[in-house]
Each structure stands twice: as structure tokens, then as C-alpha cells.
Amino acid sequence: MSKQINVALIGNPNTGKTSVFNALTGLNQKVGNYPGITVEKKEGVCKLPRGVKAHIIDLPGTYSLNASSLDESVVIELLLNKNDKDYPDVAVVITDVENLKRNLLIYTQIKDLEIPTILVINMSDRMAYKGISLDIEKLEKQLDTKIALISTRKGKGIDNLKDLISNYKTLSIEPCLNTQDIDTAYFEGLKKAFPNQSLYKLWLVITQDVNFGKIDRNSIKDASDFKTKSNVDLKRLQQKETIKRYQYINNALKEGQTIDLNSAKDLRIKMDRILTHKVWGYLIFFLILLTIFQAIYDWAEVPMDFIDSTFASLSEWTKNVLPSGAFTSLLAEGVIPGLGGIVIFIPQIAFLFLFIAVLEESGYMSRVVFLMDRIMRRFGLSGKSVVPLISGTACAIPAIMATRNIESWKERLITILVTPFTTCSARLPVYLIIISLVIPEGRFLGLSYQALTLMLLYLIGFGAAVGSAWILNKILNIKSKTFFVVEMPNYKLPLFKNVALTVIEKTKSFIFGAGKIILAISIVLWFLASYGPGEQFNNAEEIITEQYASENLSQDELNQKIASHKLEYSFIGITGRAIEPAIRPLGYDWKIGIAIVSSFAAREVFVGTLATIYSVGSDEEATIKNRMAKEINPVLGTPLFNLASGISLLLFYAFAMQCMSTLAIVKRETNSWKWPILQLTIMTAIAYIVALIAYQFLK
């Protein structure tokens, strides 16, 4: 039986921590949340030499153990709690060869916790380019640890890192700094009060809002030696600690690092001048967005058509091969069309995640954040609000989690409330199917009308978020004095492995997350659409046969009429017709109404719901898109999905909340049902009014 050890990956943001995690774990990784809190937790498994298995946990990026956000406090709480199941046997601190001095601060703090610590110096392939040379032996001696010089881009040094991890017991756990040097009298008193505890751990407990073992923070405050230490005094001692640490780091680097500034060939400044320019920066970003949305349509067309026809054929094959009955009907008319309604969008969603991953990996996304800060300030948002708004294009849930980096509660609250306006990937299936039905396929300046419509919907969502923030800022009378700080990482070619793993993980998460909901809802909808109360449903065959006796209908046409009649008087039909008066002014029938209601579980369920409803008793060979195109408005006798109803639907989903999970996260983040209920009510009202105006104007 092989032994398993816990390995914590720790480091500043943008040091390549995720690349090291991917290099160690490959596809043996999973993403979840820390118990009880909405902070992303990445963990994986790595096989080490001599049969040792490592449980790798990728901790949130942090600059130091002086926490200023929830992400950073997660790191501290784990490192201070030996009883935690994830408490590391060894800490691996990831640093960037170009920012070694700054990155080493957290290394000295972790080593002072007496945890075996390995130092990883990443991006070694850039040393010659930057004129940097390192004497690893001297650095190891000065920093009292083992160092792995690696390049995840070139795949160098990973085996050496694995060897060091497997031999972690040989590492020194001597602290870098003598904690008492910060304030001798204070720390001697602390040592007397708690003789069996590590001084540095006690210091962190006193200065951070975290707990350590069984120590009660109040008991520390009650000790007579510590009553005189105000928050101002503690901050002063923290600053003194930081100065002493940098003195230690400077002495180490003086021995082991040489930088020849004359040989550094840096294009970064020139590129930043263009990409963050007050005119060209926005133009370039706009062109990049246009390219992305055009590619989403052009590249995904062939695989989407293939998936659509495959599921239609599979549904028909199921009906023909399996014996007729309720189970076959459930598979052919419920499960398969429902799953087909989400699987068809895998290509486009994967391409969206691909482009986002490339922008992040290349370092360009930080420039976008910096660029957009100029606009955000005018609307009362923090510059840090840009990160949630941009990441909201993937999903509102992690985007709302990302607001925890915003110090001001009011600014954070506004960001939480407006982020769901940003077009997330769950809206994409709704947009794509409706756009393909109602927007013609022509082109303008080489760009398709459909791609331009999709981009316009993204801009509408972003505009709604910013506009709402401006209104909330006025209502809540926010006076913001916070400063916006964003790190500009170096430009680099995206690492194929990182991009591929991101796309696979995000797409898999989207598909399985939505798939479970859709499968469950598809089964429920199939049942509600296949059964009904009363004589109109039970005697549908006799009623329709008698009604159309004078007309010379073929058997297929008669069967279609019977299926349509049964659907209308099924449980789902009765429910749909009950809500139809409220939605008919928007151009929707009862079937669309059912899809809107069911999509509150998750927006993407809209397409799966319609696919299930239209599959019950309909033409098995038709694809989802063709079934929707054939739907007729019973009042007007025109296609149900036309320009007016299509634009109305697009605008409804652009503004509506329609996401149960997001409401749950907002409740957790604000610790109140007041804000999510307000959010749901206002966003639904805006969506209804805008959709109503659009339909009445265009019909």
C-alpha cells in the first residue's frame, strides 16, 4: 500500500502556480469549493518516486500571510491548523525568476511556520532573455532549503521537483527570522504566556482573523502583557517584520543572483503603450472580441450540425429498435432530446473557454482589466469590479466569488448585484439557437449578422451591468476612496497544456453541471407531457379522428394531430396554458412559457426543455432547430420564432436573472435573502418590460 502525502502549492498570483499544478497532476485533478465557503479549491494526485503518492492542493494566490481578502485567509487558516485533513506535509512555494525578491516574502513566512518548504523558481527559460543568472547552491545555503529551477514551458525540472517532494523529510525547518527581534519585550511576554506554542504562529493568530488549534484569541487579548497593543501598534510591528524579511531576502539574493540589465531585451513597455493606449487599446480589444464571436460561429458550425443530426438519428433509432412502451418513449422523447439540447453547444462553449484561457495565459487579460478601469471609475465601481464582470462571461457564480477581493462593502455589494447582467456561458445556448432561427445568414464587412448579434448581446449585458451600477451608486450614495492595484504579468505565449486543461475542465464542469439538471428536468417534463387528466387527454384519438373525419388526412398527419392534442391537454399543457396570458404579449406561446419557467433551474435548460416538449409525438427525424422552425403561432398563423418574438426572447434572457444557483450564491455572499430577492424581482421586471416593448414594436 503506497503512502500518500499532502503537498500545498503556494505563491503570488502570476508566478505560474497553475502551470506547476498541471505539470504535476495532468488530468488527475478536480475543482470544488472549500467546505462552507465559496472559494475555489483545486486538488489533484501526483505519483512520486518510490511508490509515494502526493495529494496536491493548489492554494489561492497570495502575496503574504498578512491577509487582506478571503482567498488569502484560506491559505493562513490551512497552514495554522494541523488538524485539517489537507494540512501540508510539505509546502512548495512557487516563484517567478523575474520577480524573485517580491515572491520570496511569503517563502520566509511559511518557513517560519516550521513547515518543510521547497522553493520552486519558475520560468527559468527567460533567464538569458532577462540577463539573470542564479547560483543555486549559494541560494540554497542562504535560504536554507532545496531549490527546484524549472520551466513548465520547456518541461524542465519537474522530475527534480518530484524527487525533492518525495524527500521532504530531509528539509530544514529552521525559521528564517527570529520572531523576537521584531519586539523583544512583547514577544518574551507572549512566550511566557504560551510556552508550548510557536511564537510566529501566535503572532499570526493575534494579527489575523483566524483561529489556531485550541487557542482562544480572546484569552490572548486578556493577557496583561498584550492589553496595550492597539491595532495601530500591531500594524507598526507588521511593517517592521516585513522590513526585516526583505533585509534577509536582499542578503540572500546578493550572494546568489546576478542581473545584467544591459542584456535584458524587453518589449513589454512598447506593447503596453499600444495595448493600454486610451484609443488604440479599446479598438484592439473591440477587434479581438469581434474575432472571437465570429470564430465561435464559423468554427463550430460543422461539429454542431453533426451533433444535432446524430441525436435526431439516435432518437429515431431508439424508437425503431427498442420495443414500444413507456421506457422507449422516455428515452426517445425525453432523455435523448434533452441531452441533445445541451451537447449540441459543446463546440461553441469550448471555443469560448479556449479564447478566454488564451487571453489569460498570454497576460493580455490584465491589460483589459487596467484598460476598463478608466471606464469603471465613472460609474462608481471599483477597478477591481472589472475582474468579476469579465469573468462573468464564463459563469456568474465564480464571478460573484471573485468580488471578495473588493475591500469596500458597498462597492462589493454593487458588483455582486450587477454581475448577473454579464452574458454568461449558460445564456449562450439560448442565444445561439434563437439567433440561428431569426437572424439571416448574410455578412457585413466579412462579419456575419449572427456573430454581430451575439456580440451586441454581450455588449448589452455589460452595458446593463455598468448602467445599473451607476444607478445603485447614486441610490446608495457611495463615496469611494479605494485604490485600484492590478499586477501586469509579462507577456508570454500561452502554454498549450494549460489552455487544453482549462478548456477540458471548464467544459466538463459546464456539461456535467448542466447535464444533471437537464436530465432530471427532461424526465419530469416527458412525464408531464406524456400524461394528463380528464377525457380530452385520455380520449384524444377518438376526438381527433371524429373532428377530422371529413378531411382526407394520411395516417402520419392524423397521428401528428393526435399527439398535438394530447400535448395540449397533458399536465404540462394545462400548466403552460395557465401562464400563457402573461407571456402572450411578449410573443410567446405556452411551450416557450414552460421553457422559461423550467430554465430558472439553469438558463441553458431552455433549449433542452423545448427539445423535450417538441419531441413528444413529433417527427423523429427532425433536428431540434428544424422542430423549432416549424412551430406556428396559433393566433397569427405565422412562424412562432420570427424576428419579433426572437428579439423579444433574446432581450428577455439578456436581462432576466433565470439562475437559481446564482441567487443562492448571492444569498451566501451577502448573508441575507433581501438582496437576491430584490435582484430577482428587479431583473425579471426589466426583462419583461424590455421584451414586451421589443415585441410590440417589431411585430
Q: What does the pLDDT look like over 375-421, one tens digit per residue?
A: 777 777 766 677 677 767 766 776 776 676 676 777 788 889 998 89
245 and 321 inside one domain: no
User: Domain check: are 227 and 324 in the same one?
Assistant: no
**450 occurs within a structural domain:** yes
Whether residue 211 is predicted with pLDDT greater than 50 in this model: the reply is no
SS3 at position 119: strand
Is the pLDDT higher at 72 or at 15?
Answer: 15
pLDDT band at 37 (very low <50, low <70, confident <90, very high): very low
> What is the CATH classification number for the domain harbouring 253?
3.40.50.300
Range of the domain at 469: 284-476
Specify whether 416 is located in the same domain as 545. Answer: no
164 and 35, same structural domain?
yes
CB 319 within 8 A of CB 328: yes
Q: Is residue 597 part of a domain?
A: yes
Show Cβ contacts of residue 123 under 8 Å, excluding neighbours closer than 6 positions: 16, 96, 97, 98, 151, 152, 153
482 within some domain:
no
Task: For the chain, give the mean pLDDT.
Answer: 79
Q: What is the mean pLDDT of residues 209-237?
A: 55
pLDDT category, 272, cuts 50, 70, 90? confident
**H-assigned helices in 392-448:** 396-401, 409-418, 428-438
The model's confidence at residue 634, banded by pLDDT at 50, 70 and 90, is low
Does residue 338 carry a pLDDT above 60? yes
pTM for the whole structure: 0.60
pLDDT of residue 660: 72
Please tell me which residue, 340 or 8, carries the higher pLDDT value: 8
Residue 36: pLDDT band with limits 50, 70, 90: very low
Report pLDDT digits (tens) over 462-474.
889 989 988 888 8
Whether residue 579 sits in one domain with residue 458: no
Cα separation, 59 vs 21, whole angstroms? 10
DSSP 552-564: ---HHHHHHHHHH
Cell reading at 447: 462579419
Interatomic CA distance for residues 616 and 527, integer angstroms: 10
| pLDDT value of residue 492 | 78
Residues near 329 by beta carbon (within 8 Å), at least 6 away in sequence = 526, 530
- Write the pLDDT tens digit of every residue in 132-159: 888 889 999 999 999 999 888 888 889 9
243 and 318 inside one domain: no
Of 69-78, 205-214, 541-550, where does the model show the most confidence? Answer: 541-550
pLDDT of 109: 92
Same domain, 68 and 162: yes
Taking 50 as the threshold, does the pLDDT of residue 34 lie above it? Answer: no
**Which of the two residues, 478 and 19, has the higher pLDDT score?**
19
- What would the pLDDT profile of 488-534 be if each residue is shown by its tens digit? 777 778 878 888 887 887 777 767 766 676 677 777 777 887 788 87
The answer to whether residue 550 sits within a structural domain is: yes
Q: Which one of 220, 237, 266 terminates a domain?
A: 266
**DSSP 8-state code for residue 149:** E
CA-based nearest residue to 613, from 576, 659, 586, 559? 576
Shared domain for 563 and 694, answered yes or no, is yes
Q: What is the pLDDT of residue 94?
A: 94
**End of a domain among 476, 506, 525?**
476
Neighbour tally for 28: CB within 10 Å:
12
Q: What's the pLDDT at 334?
A: 74
pLDDT for the residue numbered 171: 92
Q: Which pLDDT does position 52 carry in this prediction?
A: 85
Do residue 468 and residue 560 come from a single domain? no
In contact, 74 and 37? CB cutoff 8 Å = yes
Q: Are strands 90-96 and 4-11 parallel, antiparallel or unpaired?
A: parallel
On whether both 258 and 349 belong to a single domain, the answer is no
Q: Is residue 213 part of a domain?
A: yes
* Burial class of residue 214 (count of CB atoms within 10 Å of its CB; 0-12, 13-18, 19+): exposed
Residue 271 is assigned to a structural domain of this protein? no
pLDDT at 127: 80
The total number of structural domains in the chain stands at 3
With respect to residue 638, please indicate whether it lies within any of the assigned structural domains: yes
Same domain for 658 and 616: yes
Q: Can you tell me the mean pLDDT for 439-454?
A: 82
Q: Which residue has the cell 517584520?
A: 241
Domain boundary (237, 266, 295) is at: 266
pLDDT above 70 coverage of the chain, percent:
84
Does 312 reside within a domain? yes
435 and 547 share a domain?
A: no
Rounded mean pLDDT, 436-450: 81
